[in-house]
């Protein structure tokens, strides 16, 4: 969406970035020139951790009444959207972090996402969730996207394929 871990696309001069560490400070910036090359998947992710959803996926979410979801149009890729969850935050743990920047209050790297299951006593209610921590390095940090078991079943029922799934059990 905006470049690599270390370097933003030079033409994106207006991406907000930290004056001290140089990494971006807006991880939900939409690149107006973004072109999606692989349009086979209904939900995919860019290298810098931005989820891209198809119109079919957006319509699925509205039909099932899922709230707290943001779909931002991509000017150069019609019928696909930058997708993220608002709120519905779940506590996560990490294995390792390094280089805290006191100016933007972000770590350069946060590695090894694991859900903190201590306070989770029952399956998540139907819907979409996100981790409280943002993982990966440099310009590529993003929260983990989590779907409830029921939501996952609904996605399967609607024949969404190639969903990168990792089941979490307590």
State the residues that interact with Zn ion by CB under 5 A. Answer: 18, 20-21, 101, 103-104
Nearer to Zn ion, 4 or 79 (CB): 4
Task: Give the residue with the Cβ less far from Zn ion, 139 or 151.
Answer: 139
Nearest distance in Å: CB 111, Zn ion:
18
- What count of other Cβ atoms lies within 10 Å of the Cβ of residue 79? 12
Taking the complex as a whole, how short is the minimal distance between the CB of residue 103 and Zn ion, in angstroms? 4
Closest approach, Cβ 19 to Zn ion, in A, equals 8
Is 5 in contact with 138 (CB distance < 8 Å)? yes
Nearer to Zn ion, 21 or 85 (CB): 21
SS3 43: strand
User: Residue 113: helix, strand or coil by DSSP?
Assistant: coil
- Distance separating alpha carbons of residues 15 and 84, to the nearest angstrom: 18
Tokens 């390095």 locate to 137
């Amino acid at each position: 969406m905006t470049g690599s871990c270390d370097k933003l696309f030079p033409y994106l001069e207006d991406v907000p970035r930290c004056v001290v560490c140089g990494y971006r400070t807006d991880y939900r910036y939409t690149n107006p020139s973004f072109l999606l090359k692989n349009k086979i998947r209904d939900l995919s992710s860019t290298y810098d951790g931005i989820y891209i959803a198809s119109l079919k996926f957006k319509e699925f979410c509205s039909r099932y009444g899922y709230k707290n979801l943001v779909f931002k149009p991509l000017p150069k890729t019609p019928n696909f959207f930058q997708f993220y969850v608002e709120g519905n935050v779940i506590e996560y743990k990490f294995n390792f972090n390094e280089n805290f920047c006191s100016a933007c209050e972000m770590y350069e790297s946060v590695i090894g996402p694991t859900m903190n299951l201590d306070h989770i006593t029952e399956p998540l209610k139907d819907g979409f969730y996100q981790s409280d921590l943002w993982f990966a390095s440099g310009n590529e940090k993003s929260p983990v996207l989590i779907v409830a078991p029921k939501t996952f079943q609904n996605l399967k029922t609607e024949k969404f394929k190639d969903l990168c799934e990792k089941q979490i059990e307590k």
